[in-house]
Structure 1
């Protein structure tokens, strides 16, 4: 398999082509965890995996977050992720120790360590028992207890509380995020053996991002390469027993793993016979594009961050780098990064900024306009495109 074939298959498995996730919460469940530093763009990334006919808008995804059908917390690595509530407890139990170790230096440098950390966790847990609390409310409770944590130190207090399964995301209070008591938002479940939980995580990773390598899983999950290889071996063994074997594909001399059933569905979609494909009767997915497809992906989209560097599949033939111009997010053409984009801001509430790295032909311009219009429907605006030259 060459890089062009790898791109096409990953776009399909990710759900960026022929999307089939019935809702944003079910997309989160399928992926296991979805990187979510950029709050609203990450919600757009979930919506992109839902078929156009039933695709949610921003208000619908925000309602899922407010209701706790999607949760946002620090897990796997010291960064924000969306989780399904059914997965939050076991995934945090699996990864919290590693994230704590990664944060160790920062805990010590910010004073969120030792006896003060224990007291701070007790204070924020008691505060959350009374309802969903903003950062400012937690800061006030801590100050009243003689623990004046604000700014970055407060962020590490709250992250520690998340990892200890005391806090998790609550409903928005206007434009402010909140935390709620973990046990009020996450259903109870029995502890799981580490190897079983790690294999489940690897299975979700493979099912939503294949073809993948062991290095991809290690980089995404934060676990060691040894752990990654053992977990993927467990997935292969289980898949063989279930009659859905894992195929190994060679991409530039590197072994990539994908389920045989996904290869079959990809072939059906290419032939127009998979539900949701252009040629399949009654499908609800987007019609297969004739010509290029432009995707406006958030910078931390799983199509980008779900794989280990150097991510050569993102690069156009003959290009050896992914440029770093502002704006932040990723402008893609048929799975290749061709520029950056930025969503509307408070000062420009209808403007979508685009910084292409090369000129777009007429078909690509039409595809860009279609994608911006879809983003506008998600945000509930009539967008206009502002094209900028890349920085030198």
Structure 2
């Protein structure tokens, strides 16, 4: 079986994540291809799409939110994701058990004895008036019936048992707004697709195909790390005949789609600025294809990172239209120039200002 080294996996990941070359893909198609973008920080998806799409207009993504073509909802890994409306409706039921289990993993003691089906029915009754509410407001409305769980536990579980979306203006470009929730089916005026009654798993198979198209080649453990589901073994078994396999340098079996891009490992990789919690990093159990183990904590701490030669090599922040880059290693002169140029382009995107007042500070790594 062919072994793919770390650099080969890196270039395949960059190509499928639209990070090897900016794409002309429409915004809605890009969100679908990527399987959504992690979005608990509302502005981060805009940065992620700017780094992936040529001539990206943030107003277009805002318009898709307002027109209900994309939604903000808890899905993969029980984190807020920006996904297409179609994907939210099809994928939600497949994630239900995982969402409940993850809430119970935190609040099992507080929720002991709570009938979750009864909670879901009561929550839907409260929200039947169509009034957007925060989780705290929803929990308070149910507190008389369930006085024992704290409002946090009750609200978090209600969000797991009733598919909800976070309404605009939260998530719009350059807009700050609190979280207001309504049922997913009410917002989209379509019902969440049920699981297949015959026990087959067409949604799991579709998830596997979509994951490999955007993240492959990858192991079952990587798939599980992305979606939070239990590796989808039935889907893997059902599709194995149409997939090809490799091994990584650790000996793990990697699954892939036959016609998916796997560029030459020596393909040049441009500098890219990634947002906090980008799935190009978080979408894998083994993240060494893109980030060194020494810096792995950055990916879960909310740091925005810079890819240099395809790997995490710096962090970045922005304040007063100035992008500040802090390297994690020494840059060559050519790398410093490339990072500065891409940082200036990002600063111009954020400020609309292409004058010399846009500055990049690139301090060296700690001595």
- TM-score when normalising by structure 1: 0.75
Shift of 1:12: 0.5
Q: In the alignment, is the contact (CA less than 8 A) between 2:123 and 2:158 conserved in 1? A: no
Alignment counterpart, residue 31 of structure 1, candidates 8, 31, 34 = 34
Match of 2:14 in 1: 11
1:172 maps onto 2:169 in alignment: yes
Shift of 1:109: 5.0
Alignment counterpart, residue 300 of structure 1, candidates 277, 287, 300 = 277
Q: In the alignment, is the contact (CA less than 8 A) between 1:294 and 1:368 conserved in 2? A: yes
1:220 maps onto 2:226 in alignment: yes
* Unaligned stretches of 5+ residues in structure 1: 240-245, 271-290
Partner deviation per Cα, 1:210-248 (whole Å, 9 max, x = no partner): 1111111122222224x34x32232333x3xxxxxx332
SS at match of 1:339: strand
Shift of 1:189: 5.5
SS at match of 1:180: strand
Match of 2:191 in 1: 188
Report matched runs for 1:1-392 at 5 Å.
1-20=4-23, 22-50=25-53, 52-53=54-55, 55-57=56-58, 59-109=59-109, 114=114, 122=122, 126-127=126-127, 129-133=129-133, 135=134, 139-140=136-137, 143=140, 154=151, 156-172=153-169, 175-176=176-177, 177-186=179-188, 187-188=190-191, 190-193=193-196, 195-225=201-231, 227-228=232-233, 230-237=234-241, 239=242, 246-252=243-249, 253-263=251-261, 266=263, 293-309=270-286, 311-315=287-291, 321-322=294-295, 324=297, 328-342=303-317, 344=318, 348-382=319-353, 383-388=358-363, 390=365
Shift of 1:330: 1.7
Shift of 1:80: 1.6
State the alpha-carbon separation in 1 of the partners of residues 15 and 142 from structure 2. 52
State the alpha-carbon separation in 2 of the partners of residues 109 and 84 from structure 1. 35
State the alpha-carbon separation in 2 of the partners of residues 89 and 372 from structure 1. 37
Distance 1:97 1:79, change over 3 A: same
SS at match of 2:76: coil
Shift of 1:250: 2.8
* Unaligned stretches of 5+ residues in structure 2: none
Shift of 1:31: 2.7
Q: In the alignment, is the contact (CA less than 8 A) between 2:122 and 2:142 conserved in 1? A: no
Q: Greater relative contact order (Cα 8 A, min sep 6): structure 1 or 2?
A: 2
Partner deviation per Cα, 1:292-318 (whole Å, 9 max, x = no partner): 622111232121011113x222346xx
SS at match of 1:263: coil
Distance 1:203 1:180, change over 3 A: same
Q: In the alignment, is the contact (CA less than 8 A) between 2:72 and 2:83 conserved in 1? A: yes
Shift of 1:366: 2.1
Shift of 1:75: 1.5
Shift of 1:2: 1.9
Shift of 1:99: 1.8
- TM-score when normalising by structure 2: 0.80
Partner deviation per Cα, 1:151-183 (whole Å, 9 max, x = no partner): x95555444333333521211165213222322
SS at match of 1:355: strand
Number of equivalent positions: 345
Distance 1:132 1:189, change over 3 A: closer
Distance 1:46 1:338, change over 3 A: same
